[in-house]
Amino acid sequence: MTEYLQKNTYDLSLGQKQRVTIAGVLSVNPKVIVMDEPTAYLDPEGKEDIKKIVKKLKDDGFTIIYITNIIDEVFISDRVLLLEKGKAIKEFKIDDILENIEFLKEHGLTIPKSLQIMQTLKEKGIEIDLKDLI
């Protein structure tokens, strides 16, 4: 983000502001990073950029708490914690997401077509690694 060093923050796009914010957080060398809907209001390219940054941070050993209501974004997670009215109602490993589809639907989450197809394939004995969706 050094090319934006002399720019006014109000001249930056939302995606650039998100990246600058992440860089600022990293500058204090945190052990845990909390991101609350980091892809909100971003275009598809900006969302992918942020997800790549989060995946790299995770691969580099950072602990990341990623808050989202977009189920497609949980694939970069190791674990999912579903909250409802401020209370934890379900926790599972991302590898177990297909077994939790009905529960997620019952609690108002929209299940993307990719997961619905994967669930159908799994029921027919065809396994697809969730890591392929990242």
CATH number at residue 1: 3.40.50.300
Q: Which domain holds residue 31?
A: 1-68
Complete DSSP assignment for 59-72:
HTT-EEEEE-S-GG
Percent of the chain clearing pLDDT 90 (strictly above): 28
The reply to whether 115 falls in a domain is: no
pLDDT digits (tens, 9 = 90+) for 78-125: 999 999 999 999 999 988 888 888 898 898 888 888 888 888 888 898
Instruction: Kindly state the average pLDDT of the residues 26-51.
Output: 90
Number of domains in the chain: 1
The reply to whether 80 falls in a domain is: no
The reply to whether 98 falls in a domain is: no
The reply to whether 21 falls in a domain is: yes
Q: Which residue reads 């900006």 in tokens?
A: 46
- pTM for this structure? 0.77
The reply to whether 119 falls in a domain is: no
More confident residue, 6 or 89: 89
